[in-house]
Amino acid sequence: MRAAVCREFGTPLSVETVALAAVGPGDVHVELAACAVCHSDIHFVQGAWGGQLPAVYGHEAAGTVTAVGPQVSDVAVGDHVVVTLIRSCGECHQCHRGNEVFCTTPFAADESPRLTDDDGPVLAAMNCGAFAEEVVVDRSQVVVVPNDLDWSVASLLACGVITGVGAVTNTSSANAASTVVVVGVGGVGLNTVQGAAIVGAPVIVAVDLAQEKLEVARAFGATHVATPDNVREVIAVATGSAAGVSHVFVTVGSAPAIKAALTYLEPGGELVIVGMPAVGNEIEVDPVDIAASGQRIIGSKMGTSQIQHDIPRLIDWYREGKLKLDELVSGTFSLDEINEAIAGVGDGSVIRNVVLLSGADAGTSAAPDGGTDA
């Protein structure tokens, strides 16, 4: 099959032919129709988090099941599925706590490479390797979705949407009495804004450097917008108080933005770190200030998602008009155009670009070409 391979950090991906491992007992083989470009993929390609090379990135995907292992009984050939990086056993301590994203069980699939080329193993990164025409993943990584769901929309549900919406609805304590600031309104940030709107927060302040992104954020549910220079003033107007807001979500991978976000919180407030800076970034926090103000700092990985529950719920919200998904798709590209797709997301000129793959020719229609840039 064809896949986009990273052989050196910070250089364009090369589309090559690689071999895919056979389906194991608990595996699912998926012919991919779409894979969206996530900033996490870009960080890995740039070497911000290190890792093994050569590698195939991509983890925000959807496609059609073409084979299942003998231990798989709840997914069938022909099913349309969302493919995620979240792999869970359902039995370990973390899974029992509802923290499937932190499953501690080793998987047999890790004992041998999923992908190989003539020179040896190629890493299927983030348990997926979905910048490719096909994947073999653990059954726990897929969620069956309706056959009429657009491929591009389906792919977004694998990461960006569950991460942003889930940071509000799963990780945080935000509710209809909360006042919210969202720092950074790219793909994940816009979904965080949507999550705040879904829980009924009456004040949702979107913060970004780019004015055009702030205007898009209003369409996704932001009640107010601000730049980093005037956040405190906008918060005071929006809440009628200089005390701050109850919840701040930082969706950009920036240590300075995280530190600044603490100054937006009222006593008893909650800072949720969603975006991941490059390795080695640190901030200094005075623990006396945190303790005396009763504030909380928490991390949110993949929106603390339980995908078999959360993805169907997101589809319901989409059908009901509570969640915008089509508007997140800025453009669609072929696998051969993947570096162009990555560049648009990387420079912040678009929300999400989606790579359409061979499996997009069957099942649902292709994604819209336009969408809303941000």
- Quote the percentage of the chain above a pLDDT of 90: 87
Distance CA(256)–CA(247), nearest Å, equals 18
**pLDDT over 90 (residue 350):** no
Q: Which two tokens stand for residue 202?
A: 């009456």
**CATH homologous superfamily for the domain 164-301:** NAD(P)-binding Rossmann-like Domain (3.40.50.720)
Task: Summarize pLDDT for 293-323 with one digit per residue, the tens.
Answer: 999 999 999 999 999 999 999 999 999 999 9
113-137 pLDDT tens trace: 999 999 999 999 999 999 999 999 9
Percent pLDDT > 70 in the chain is: 97
Domain limits, the chain: 2-157+325-361, 164-301
What pLDDT is recorded for position 373? 31
Query: What mean pLDDT, rounded, does the chain reach?
Result: 93
The reported pTM is 0.92
Given a cut of 70, whether residue 365 has pLDDT beyond it is: no
* pLDDT above 60 for 370: no
Superfamily grouping for domain 2-157+325-361? Medium-chain alcohol dehydrogenases, catalytic domain (3.90.180.10)
Where do we find the tokens 């705040």? 196
